[in-house]
A and B are shown apart, each in its own frame.
Chain A
């Protein structure tokens, strides 16, 4: 209530200022004046903030916008008929025309609203950091983690579920790893995000920043032995929780021949380009 009266006072003040200016100048156009809704008699008019102008900078061409193909579009390397992937892609594009699924990576902070028939307001809102993106095609999922009232909560959402109402990226960034399961054993400050966090704007031409943060861990034992080379974790401060001898001991489980395994190579660049063009053409129709 105090806030609204302060806002109303501000508007009334600005209205008076504008009116006085108008009298002086005569050329002033009133944009914000008309923006307050007519309140009920006696009540000050409610302030409705002006809509943000969408600036389409024609100088910056399409080429400088960063291209992003969501990883669930890339088909896995299997002996499956490509007709199956084509049918799934059609359904995914149809859904994306209705619900905007933004570009995000593991490590970005997202806000998700789902339809919930049992909730009072019929919706269900959650904010968290994305720790995993898995699944291909229509069954693609992502997991958000946050700490609510001292309790860590992870929720796995399906991107193409009909219960998804709204997905928004509050902070778009990448991390040093492609899954952040080690946050379960890290100090809680690294997984806490305010539910009313304000979105951090990133220009569509800029490269997505990589957060080089190295996380401090709770004392061992952890849920997994993150120091072992198979997890290949870059984002933990091992020097603060492990001795050099323990690090060396973990290297015993290293498998240095895996980098030469040719069967594990899957170069998706050409496939990605074709699918990206197809998806962009369909979405722009």
Chain B
């Protein structure tokens, strides 16, 4: 009887269609650990990463790659930063502007892809930012970080780079890579607004609130010309999911760079919510290229000879330690 029962139960629980997802051969990291041990592991990893950030150790033990001179055609690497918040900034003449604070947390170069492998035209550098724990990650994803000698990162992006601006994988990148007075482009995922109507999403003006409008106040109205095309053109602006897409803000000025806390003060607003990861790179706007001449090339090396003060200010910016005139 019991044997019959077991066979019956076995028959029920084996799925008719074998789907890949349900059969997992690996275990998760704390499956065989007690809760205490798991907490100890988490804390140990967090402390180790904090220590690595504070030490500002360069994991490179052997020769760094040769450094070249900057020229007009070269494009250098960008950074990935965390959006902290916004605050006001004043010029020497008393005009008020707003700036966004972006903090560069644990930015490292992870891989170099040469021109031939990437797209035949430009080389690429893969950058990672913000240390994240190695738990719940596959071995394949951890391999890339292990080869660079760097803890696993939360965000990994690619930057197009000219051949004279390549950096050895494992080099840390700091906020002093950008200097005040320079112009940058910032890319991030915009705040998701969900399914939105046509007035909020595309800025349509809708219809009047009164004077006989029947049930039509925020609708798109006409969808196009009439019988001749007899269709709605592709790309017609209609309601749909808004936000949560990558967007770039171009031509933003860098007002101030804090080298100790690695914070960039960038003019205006930047897409994304607070504490989101953003990609910062030198501007591609042709009229701002003259402001970006002679940057630290290929990047700012912390173990080099340059001793930078804690705060670098733009020449027009009012510094709070200045005495009151008159």
Contacts and interface: CB of A to CB of B under 8 A. Distances in A.
Contacts of B87: 84, 88, 137-139
A270 to B, nearest CB: 22
B237 interface: no
A99 B275 CA distance: 33
A interface, how many residues as a size bin? 20 to 34
Interface string A140-154: 000000000000000
Task: Give the dominant DSSP class at B's interface.
Answer: loop
A139 B88 contact: yes
B56 interface: no
Interface stretch (A40-48, A157-165, A207-215, A231-239): A157-165
Given A79-B275, A98-B323, A161 B84 contact: no
B274 A79 contact: yes
Interface in A74-109: 78-81, 83-84, 87-88, 91-92, 94-95, 97-99
Nearest to B258: A87
Interface of A: 78-81, 83-84, 87-88, 91-92, 94-95, 97-99, 115, 117, 122-123, 137-139, 158, 160-163, 165
B322 interface: yes
B85 A80 contact: yes
Contact of B101 (A84, A98, A160, A161): A84
B283 interface: no
A118 B240 CA distance: 51
B147 to A, nearest CB: 31
Contacts of A137: 87
Contacts of A95: 320
Interface string B177-220: 00000000000000000000000000000000000000000000
Contact of B94 (A92, A97, A162): A162
27 contacts: A78-B274, A80-B275, A81-B82, A81-B85, A81-B103, A81-B274, A81-B275, A83-B261, A84-B101, A87-B101, A87-B258, A87-B261, A88-B87, A92-B320, A94-B321, A98-B322, A115-B324, A115-B326, A117-B94, A122-B326, A138-B87, A139-B87, A158-B88, A160-B88, A160-B320, A162-B92, A162-B94
Contacts, number: 66
Nearest to A140: B88
Contacts of A78: 274
Interface in B59-106: 82, 84-85, 87-88, 90, 92-94, 96, 101, 103
Contacts of A123: 326
B318 interface: yes
Interface residues of B, number: 25
Given A87-B258, A98-B322, A123-B326, A80 B90 contact: no
A115 B318 CA distance: 14
Interface of B: 82, 84-85, 87-88, 90, 92-94, 96, 101, 103, 258, 261, 263, 274-275, 318, 320-326
Nearest to B273: A79
B320 A91 contact: yes
Contact of B84 (A80, A98, A117, A163): A80
A91 to B, nearest CB: 5
Given A84-B85, A87-B263, A95-B320, A161 B326 contact: no
B26 to A, nearest CB: 34
Nearest to A85: B85
A87 B259 CA distance: 12
B322 A115 contact: no
A138 B89 CA distance: 9
A79 B82 CA distance: 13
A162 B321 contact: no
Contacts of A115: 94, 324-326
Contacts of A99: 324
Contacts of A84: 84-85, 87, 101
A173 B82 CA distance: 43
Contacts of B85: 80-81, 84
A126 B67 CA distance: 59
Contacts of B321: 94, 97-98
A78 B274 CA distance: 10
Contacts of B320: 91-92, 94-95, 98, 160
A117 B103 CA distance: 36
B188 to A, nearest CB: 16
A88 to B, nearest CB: 6
Contact of A162 (B84, B90, B103): B90
A161 B94 contact: yes
Contacts of A117: 93-94
Given A81-B103, A87-B101, A138-B87, A98 B324 contact: yes
Given A81-B82, A115-B326, A137-B87, 12 more contacts: A79-B274, A80-B275, A81-B85, A81-B103, A83-B103, A84-B101, A92-B320, A98-B322, A99-B324, A115-B324, A138-B88, A163-B94
